Structure 1
Amino acid sequence: MSTEYTLSAGGYTAVVTAQAAALRVLQFDDRDLIVPFAAGGPIPDYRGIIAAPWPNRIADGGYTFDGAAYHLPINEPERATALHGLAFPLDWTLKESDAGSLTLTCTVGPTPGYPFVLELEARYTLDDTGLHTSVTARNAADVAAPYGVCPHPYLVAGPSPLDEWVLEFSAESFLEVTPDRLLPVGTVPVEGHAFDFRPARAIGSTEIDHAFTDIAFDGGLARLSVRDPAGTGVGGSGVGMSWDESCPWLQIHTADKPAPIPGRIGLAVEPMTCPPDAFNSGTDLIRLEPGAEHTASWSIYAL
């Protein structure tokens, strides 16, 4: 059974597991802000994990970096991809904690498919404005390393079905993907498309498992909100997420599942430093030189 840590502050409660440094529970006044998962068991659908050293998927698990070809294990066999990095199976080590904050660390690599060494540090801080997370990667080897990261929470706006939730975020483009493997084709403007949520509107029956970009950052932060008009409280209930400019991409997934598996139980919102298959395209891929560090930050809060 994985060790877990509980944080409390300002009406919020968060539970983080040592495995994957995953956010297992986040509540405000006993209201779920994310889809939780059971203590002590496997993490379903990568809920709440830190995806590193790459977010999303790498086609066929293969890539070339600095002239050398590498092949990663395929962990999404139905699409023949390497999904969500190498850090999620690991038990992260406690560095420090108190009632409202927690820092966990792990080392990724070297492995045959990723012969680099990254020291990762995830810091969770809870206060009366919500849960704030940062992930710092440091290259602990003597060669440059490819890197990307994202969180993987499934947000919950309220008790109504996801179709009734009202979503809003400012992105001008999305990444069109192949229908079978969800691999990049090219960016497309959201204008006039079902994926345009720049004005807040109900998600409806729209199915999304796509990355968005050309995101509006106001004062260095991008923001997303999802609200349940029928939720408790004046004007309903909701949850918001913000992130800094280290993440110019945003994956949105409506968690659609084939019957009889319950689907659309939450909205995956994943600020990403790079798009899917960035190890091959090079788009916004971070090149960490020896000794260099990179930090990405995001927050989740009640509305």
Structure 2
Amino acid sequence: MVTPISGTQHILRAGEYEATVASVGATLRSLTYHGRDLVVPFGAGEVRPAFRGATLAPWPNRIVDGRYTFDGAEHQTALTEPGRGHALHGLAAWLEFTVIDKGPDHVALAGYIEAQTGYPWRLRLETSYALGPDGLRQEVIVMNRSDVPAPFGTGTHPYVVAGPGRVDDWTLELPASEVLLVTEDRLIPTELAGVDTDPARFDFREARAIGAARIDHAFTGLARDADGRAAVRVTDATGAGVEVSWDASCPWLQIHTADRPAGDPGDRIGLAVEPMTCAPDAFNADRYPFDTGLQVIPGGETASASWRISALV
């Protein structure tokens, strides 16, 4: 049998949840609850659109101009976002991941990021997806297989679906007090500001309609519960929808309203909710007067992060 272009398909089921994980990029291809889409799906025979559901490593978001300095050495990565001239979403999104454990409600996958021009460290990535009564949990574990420290960040890229309609029709609850402002053309970070700098666009600490707001920004200053978890909720007019929650390993969150040119069928069909261990351009942490969250993993050691997607009913 010919393997679909998105890779080997791993179908997980538990209760009323069903998920499909594709091996290319360890990608969440679909997730449903009672047959209702919780994320924007794509077909097994499609090239994954817009990093939809991909596992992002060894950096999420962008390295500006694809250039950074680490431990005194300058590095230039490939520019994978040519329209803006940046290195986008790391090196794992098109890797083929292999199964290391699998059951009816879970799958664990592993892959290697080999040392290369622009990122001269070897990493082993493991990621697991597990369905349960409270939704789909993903965990990423990275092992630095180099002899020297490696810079690292990770995240995920689901486009969540609250219900019928588009982003404009849904309500967002986002417990973040700060937003990273960026240039309009290239999305280069400029300053960290309170969400009240433009409340109509950025302040969703109290749940309200997204409406026409156009957002492609990282947020921090996240309110957390007693267990250190933060959560974003996206709901439709009935109150049903999706919750994305994550642990203390992710101090940053990217929100993107999936804006596309007028007439594009993908325009605002889902809200990207992306927990991240670090800020955009974190590999250039010395440029910024705030903690970007960049991790430095010593040779032979590990780091991890996790998040969950749950139905709201």
Normalization by structure 1: what TM-score? 0.97
How far off its partner does 1:284 sit?
A: 1.1
Question: Partner amino acid for 2:246?
Answer: W
Instruction: Please list the CA deviations of residues 10-64 of structure 1 after superposition, one character each: whole Å capped at 9, or x if unmatched.
Output: 1000000000000000000000000001112200000000010000011111111
Alignment of 1:1-303 (within 5 A): 1=4, 2-191=7-196, 193-194=199-200, 195-218=202-225, 219-229=227-237, 235-262=238-265, 263-282=267-286, 283-303=292-312
Cα distance in 1, alignment partners of residues 199 and 207 from structure 2: 14
- What is the total number of aligned residue pairs between the two structures? 298
4+ runs deviating over 2 angstroms: none
Q: Secondary structure at the match of 1:45?
A: coil
The answer on whether the counterparts of 2:42 and 2:48 sit within 8 Å (CA) in structure 1 is yes
Question: Partner amino acid for 2:309?
Answer: I
Runs of 5+ in structure 1 lacking a partner? 230-234
- Report the RMSD for the aligned CA atoms in angstroms: 0.9
Q: What residue in structure 1 maps to residue 289 of structure 2?
A: none
The answer on whether the counterparts of 2:19 and 2:29 sit within 8 Å (CA) in structure 1 is yes
Q: What residue in structure 2 maps to residue 232 of structure 1?
A: none
Runs of 5+ in structure 2 lacking a partner? 287-291
Q: Secondary structure at the match of 1:280?
A: helix
The answer on whether the counterparts of 1:10 and 1:129 sit within 8 Å (CA) in structure 2 is no
Once the two structures are overlaid, the 10-residue window that deviates more, 247-256 or 192-201, is: 192-201
Cα distance in 1, alignment partners of residues 257 and 220 from structure 2: 17
Instruction: Please list the CA deviations of residues 78-135 of structure 1 after superposition, one character each: whole Å capped at 9, or x if unmatched.
Output: 1000000000111101101000111000111211111101110001000111000100
Question: Partner amino acid for 1:38?
Answer: G
Cα distance in 1, alignment partners of residues 119 and 97 from structure 2: 19
The answer on whether the counterparts of 1:96 and 1:103 sit within 8 Å (CA) in structure 2 is yes
How far off its partner does 1:149 sit?
A: 0.4
Normalization by structure 2: what TM-score? 0.94
Question: Partner amino acid for 2:18?
Answer: T
The answer on whether the counterparts of 2:61 and 2:281 sit within 8 Å (CA) in structure 1 is yes
